[in-house]
Amino acid sequence: MRQLPATEAAASQRGTSGMKRRFSFRLELDPSRSSAPWWTPILSVALALLLCAVFIAINGMNPITVYMRMVTGAFGSSFGITETLVKAIPLLLCGLGVAIAYRISIWNIGAEGQFAAGAMGATAVIIYFPDLPAVLTIPLMLVFGMLAGGFWGLLTAIPRTYFGVNELITSLMLNYVALLALDYFVFGPWKDPQGFNFPGTPMFTEAQSLPVLGTTRLHLGLVFALIAILLYFLTIRYTKWGYELRLIGANSNAAKNAGININKHILIVMLISGGLAGIAGMAEVSGVTHRLMYGISPGYGYTAIIVAWLAKLNPLGLIVSSVLFGGLIVGGYSVQTMGLPSSISSMLQGAILFFLIAGDMLSKFRLRSGG
């Protein structure tokens, strides 16, 4: 009872200070909201489109016409749709790869290099065993592509686990190393002798190419990607290992105290993460370009980072966001005829990521008036 007046006094003090600052507003964390709502990705894409519309307008173009052209280019015809899906395949595989790593807070930004490593691994099979039948070549290419990508992922994981080196820097440095190695092969020992100096290997034969759907360029890689997504979903949801990954992601100290060997998990996860990007590289050479060549990736590995974030690491979300970004790449190509650089799509990608993190955080805040 003796405490009551004190509490009252405190309450009235709060009240007066509230009165004084009646017209002021402030942002504060809303304790009732722990995760961002489902609509922030949609809002962030819309705001990014709005921001880039300003830059397109400055460039002297009508943004609505440009966006319409991008949409019709990517989704307006059956050719556009299959091309979009062809671009979505590597994005989905690489995006899934980085998403698995992000689950345990391993910042793998090396999907670009792991993709190139996978493409080189798959091509090595063709260079050294040129005359195998399709039933042998394709699985061998898949295995070697996966192993090469996984090895490249391990090169990031080993410095992290045994030397405490930040994986962001390592994985990015390895991207440049992998792309330079690819340049070495296609300008050097693997160059097509009949290729008029084109920096690429000889064209693959029918037996070395992934089967395609009808007359389109849509290839078997789509099935690989969908199987990978399904496996990811089942593993994370229903297995002990998936549970351990979720535990590490939620609280790595708790996981360590529960007896989980985090370093072992980092090595395995980076092997898988790199392996998935490696499959993407294999599918790209065997299914789309039918040769290893200079500049094989238009930045799939970097776009994959945004794909994974936009999807919030969710399997279904990964499918949606990789198709969206595949469409963005195809749409970017189709506005080139209007005199706009195709880099408009990479500008949009960066802007989407900005608005996404801002939106995710802002939705956790609430506006309060007064003190």
Partner 1 sequence: MELTTQLLIAAIAAGTPLLFATLGGIMNERAGIIQLGAEGLMLMGAVTACLTYLQTGSLSLALLAVFGVSAALGLIHAFLCVTLRANQIVSGLAVTLFGTGFSAYLGKSVSGQPLGTTVPRLQLPWLEPIPVIGPIFANLNLFTWVSFVLVIAMHVFIHRTSWGLHLRALGDNPATADVMGIRVQLFRYGYVIVGAALIGLAGANMLLVYSPTWIEGMTAGRGWIAVALVIFARWNPIRALFCAYFFGVLDTLGFRIQLTGSDIPPYFLKMIPYVVTILVLMFLGWRNRNKPSGTPEALGQPYIREQRF
Question: Is 184 among the residues that bind partner 1 (CB under 8 A)?
Answer: yes
293 binds partner 1 (CB under 8 A): no
Please, what is the Cα angle at 124 between 119 and 126, to 5 degrees?
A: 100
Q: Is 362 in the site for partner 1 (CB under 8 A)?
A: yes
Instruction: Enumerate residues 51-80 that contact partner 1 by CB under 8 A.
Output: 55
The yes or no reply on residue 40 touching partner 1 (CB under 8 A) is no
* Site for partner 1 contains 273 (CB under 8 A): no
| Distance (Å, whole) CA 304 – CA 321 | 9
| From candidates 114, 137, 170, 273, binder to partner 1 by CB under 8 A | 170
Binding mask 18-37 for partner 1 (x = CB under 8 A): ---------x-x--------
Pattern 129-168, partner 1, x by CB under 8 A: ------------------------------x---xxxx-x
Selected range binding partner 1 among 129-137, 288-296, 316-324, 352-360, rule: CB under 8 A? 352-360
- Among the listed ranges 78-86, 237-245, 259-267, 300-308, the one in contact with partner 1 (CB under 8 A) is 300-308
Q: Which of residues 206-265 bind partner 1 (CB under 8 A)?
A: none
For the bound state, the minimum distance from the C-beta of residue 159 to partner 1, rounded and expressed in Å, comes to: 5
Closest CB to partner 1 among residues 195, 298: 298
* Residues near partner 1 (CB under 8 A): 27, 29, 55, 107, 109, 159, 163-166, 168-170, 172-177, 180-181, 183-184, 187-188, 302, 305-306, 309, 341, 343-351, 353-354, 357-358, 360-362, 365
